[in-house]
Amino acid sequence: MRAYNFSAGPAILPVEVLKEAANEILDYEGTGMSIMEMSHRTKTFEKVLNDAEALLREIMNIPSNYKVIFVQGGATTQFAAIPLNLMSDNKKAAYIETGNFSKKAYQEAKIFSPEGVRIVASSKDKNYTYIPDCSNLDIDKDDDYVYICENNTIFGTKFHTLPDTKGKPLVSDQSSCFLSEPVDVTKYGVIYAGVQKNVGPSGLAIVIVREDLVRDELVFKTPTMLNWKVQIDAGSLYNTPNSWAIYICGKVFKWIKDLGGLEVMKKRNEAKAKVLYDYLETSKLFKNEVEKKDRSIMNIVFRTESEELDAKFVSEAKNHNIVSIKGHRLVGGMRASIYNAMPIEGVYALVDFMREFEKENLK
Ligand SMILES: *Cc1c(COP(=O)(O)O)cnc(C)c1O
């Protein structure tokens, strides 16, 4: 039986995709081997890679002046790649701090430019339970980019309006909201995501970068693998890529397309999130502390009044086939990650159990 897997990542994938991959694992399209065993220089794998990129471009409506690369090292490796690739001699950038991942990205950028990298807005004062006002940021004329983490996986918040970057390129970590809803790619300089939250296996990141931001000459001495231009020129095949993850992502893109694309994903995701938020609003035992206007529809955090009761909830949830519901260690409580592949039945099962638990445990 499949579990209702609420893991934040690596996370639930569509059962249709897993079955297809299972069917092909001994013999991919008559080649007598699986994609895992195949040279990345074969025509067969090249087609897998090219088809994946083409499908991604189609479902996200990525304009032709944006490059797409599939790179290794997850999202975290890009925390360094971003300043290394985007900074001019100014070496200045503005970061918006809305949680752990934007803080880490900021700290990484500071390694390369301790003076020039600044936090221009933060929600740290209220433990990242909201998105700060970004309508009049202190952007410097020399800033090379403005950085956000668009959906905060750990704290359960999301930018529903993009910051006013005053004309500077916006760099967005979309790891936990990638392909969860339509986005206007033209509003961004760079979109990137570790794929293991909403689209595939771990260890792969997708970087979508506007052509004019790709530098021929980098300001910093940069490891070859982190140089976007090298990856772009090599068509993501500079070295052996994470071929298995690219293959699964391609299948997930196809799954999204066949269901009707990102508009449909958004409707499904909003419907799922509504079931859980509606219950949380009426519950006397569980609470969600996130500012309503800034709620994530991908990661929903909640807690009871005590850590003991939270632990009891997590433990008893397993008997209801509800797994990986424990909150991140920085926040405690619970977190339901309800990515694209989570069926609404999983959310119904969770809310049913929460009601039952509330009845039994409310003093
Ligand atoms: C998980 C996550 C990361 C880190 O991803 P890795 O692939 O583990 O490096 C970065 N940003 C966000 C928003 C995430 O959710």
Could you tell me the distance, in angstroms and rounded to a whole number, from the CA of residue 155 to the centre of ligand 1? 13
Could you tell me the distance, in angstroms and rounded to a whole number, from the CA of residue 204 to the centre of ligand 1? 11
pLDDT at 127: 96
Q: Tens digit of pLDDT for each residue in 229-247?
A: 999 999 999 999 999 999 9
- Nearest-CA residue for ligand 1 atom 10 is 75
Could you tell me the distance, in angstroms and rounded to a whole number, from the CA of residue 329 to the centre of ligand 1? 15
Could you tell me the distance, in angstroms and rounded to a whole number, from the CA of residue 360 to the centre of ligand 1? 36
What is the C-alpha to C-alpha distance for residues 294 and 97, in angstroms, rounded to an integer?
Answer: 14
Task: List the Cα angle 321/324/327 in 5-degree steps.
Answer: 135
pLDDT at 224: 97
Could you tell me the distance, in angstroms and rounded to a whole number, from the CA of residue 175 to the centre of ligand 1? 6
Q: Which of 72, 101, 339 to mutate to test the pocket of ligand 1 (most atoms within 8 A of CB)?
A: 101
Residue list, ligand 1 pocket, CB within 6 Å = 9, 74-76, 101, 149, 153, 173, 175-176, 194, 196-197
pLDDT level of residue 192 (50, 70, 90 thresholds): very high
pLDDT at 348: 98
Supply the mean pLDDT for the chain: 98
pLDDT at 363: 81
Six token digits for residue 105: 């990205």
Q: Tens digit of pLDDT for each residue in 140-169?
A: 999 999 999 999 999 999 999 999 999 999
What's the mean pLDDT in 189-213?
A: 98
Determine contact, residues 174/194, Cβ cutoff 8 Å: no
Task: Using a cut of 0.95, tell me whether the model's pTM lies above it.
Answer: yes
Q: Tens digit of pLDDT for each residue in 57-107?
A: 999 999 999 999 999 999 999 999 999 999 999 999 999 999 999 999 999
pLDDT level of residue 1 (50, 70, 90 thresholds): confident
Determine contact, residues 277/288, Cβ cutoff 8 Å: yes
What is the C-alpha to C-alpha distance for residues 62 and 56, in angstroms, rounded to an integer?
Answer: 8
68 strand-pairing partners: 208
Could you tell me the distance, in angstroms and rounded to a whole number, from the CA of residue 352 to the centre of ligand 1? 30
152 strand-pairing partners: 157
Could you tell me the distance, in angstroms and rounded to a whole number, from the CA of residue 74 to the centre of ligand 1? 7
Q: Which of 7, 98, 153 to mutate to test the pocket of ligand 1 (most atoms within 8 A of CB)?
A: 153
- Nearest-CA residue for ligand 1 atom 2 is 175
- Nearest-CA residue for ligand 1 atom 3 is 75
Count other Cβ atoms within 10 Å, centred on residue 183: 21
pLDDT at 120: 98
For 229-251, give the DSSP string: HHHHHTTT-SS---HHHHHHHHH
